[in-house]
Amino acid sequence: MRRTLTLTPLFVLALCAMAHAQAGGGFGRGMERERIPWYPSIERVGSGDNLTPLERRRLKAMGLEPSDKKYIFVYIRPLTEDKEPNEFVTCQDALEAARTTWAFVKMDLDKENVYQKAWGIKTAPACVGCDLFSNDFVKVPGVSVDAIRSVVRNTPDLIAKYEAKLKADFAKATDTLKSDEEKGLKLLVDVCVSGKNGYKETSEAQKTLNELTESVFKKGELASAVSPESGSEYFDELVRLYRTTAPGARAEVFLAILEHSRGNVQPAIQRLLKVMKYDARLFKAEIESAGKALDEISKAGDAKIEAAQAGPDKAFAREAVRKLAKDYAGTDAGKHASEAAK
């Protein structure tokens, strides 16, 4: 009996130690619970220096070697979040992914962030699965084990399918161009419309499309010189033909300028605002052109506000300014008119 009583505390202590170890506790470095190493920024993932010295030491202590990354998991967190969600520790898919081909990055919600604007992220939390060029392939609102697992499991297959289709479509477009330029041009537009940032085929398709359409824009300038109506008709056709490609965005800017000159102020503004929402990584020049055109339209609106306020009839001036606030909504002039009409 005495022997049994002596062994019982030892047996209980052993059970407690086993339970503690299984729960991720323990004493010393070897018993620490595994956690995901977070990259400081999305740019660091492809820089060739992916892990900090501390993260490298931690992986080696676990008997693991850092591996090349192929995918990026982005966690968009609310500004009010004060600690990492437990789901990233309890999801085994995430832990396994972080040990191998996935890089995990945290981002604060920021509607002006170039990546989040391109992904269409407007609320947090959210989980996004990307390729190494930061193109989104899977987006899941909220943060849960199921959400994390969905991103990790589905992204690689979607990227592989996209890359295979892109190569096939680009090859078909370039081959067709040799025998039928009109048909090949349409196929090239399709490649650019679905093209994502960073891929060689996308860049080459955009370059070829820009070169082939340069003469088209010169004809458009001649049509605009005849009359704004002729120019608008011409560039409207180009917008329909080239859609959301660089030439399509360029045509939108030309058309907006012509629409404004014809007195169609709000349609012109909306065209420019649409272009400015495009992915800045693919449409940098076109977005800059749209911004400049929008500034010019805004200046014209401010001049009209000033002229209206200079009139002797204050009641008439107030009504005129209210109308200008509607016409120039979406620009600084629209804001100025709204303030002046109060």
Per-residue model confidence as pLDDT tens digits over 71-94: 999 999 999 999 999 999 999 999
In 201-222, which positions are buried (b, 16+ CB within 10 angstroms) versus exposed (e)? bbebbbebbbeebeebbeebee
Peptide bond into 125 cis (omega under 30): yes
Residuewise pLDDT in 10s, the chain (342 residues): 444 444 454 444 444 444 443 433 333 334 456 789 898 899 888 655 555 566 667 666 766 666 678 999 999 999 999 999 999 999 999 999 998 899 999 999 999 999 999 999 999 999 999 999 999 999 999 999 999 999 999 999 999 999 999 999 999 999 999 999 999 999 999 999 999 999 999 999 999 999 999 999 999 999 999 999 999 999 999 999 999 999 999 999 999 999 999 999 999 999 999 999 999 999 999 999 999 999 999 999 999 999 999 988 888 999 999 999 999 999 999 999 999 988
Q: What is the DSSP letter of 30?
A: G
pLDDT of residue 150: 97
pLDDT of residue 62: 65
The rounded distance, in Å, linking the Cα atoms of 151 and 139 is 7
pLDDT of residue 45: 87
Alpha-carbon 249 to chain mean position: 17
Placement of tokens 């832990």 in the chain: 95
Please list the alpha-helical segments (H only) found in 62-194.
87-90, 92-99, 114-119, 145-179, 181-194
Specify the pTM: 0.80
Nearest to 289 by CA among 278, 302, 300, 304: 278
Domain boundaries, the chain: 34-160, 194-340
pLDDT of residue 311: 86
What tokens were used for 205?
């398709």
Placement of tokens 């979607």 in the chain: 158
Domain 34-160: CATH class, spelled out: alpha beta
pLDDT of residue 89: 92
pLDDT of residue 2: 44
Architecture in CATH of 194-340: Alpha Horseshoe (1.25)
Cβ(51)–Cβ(66) under 8 Å? yes
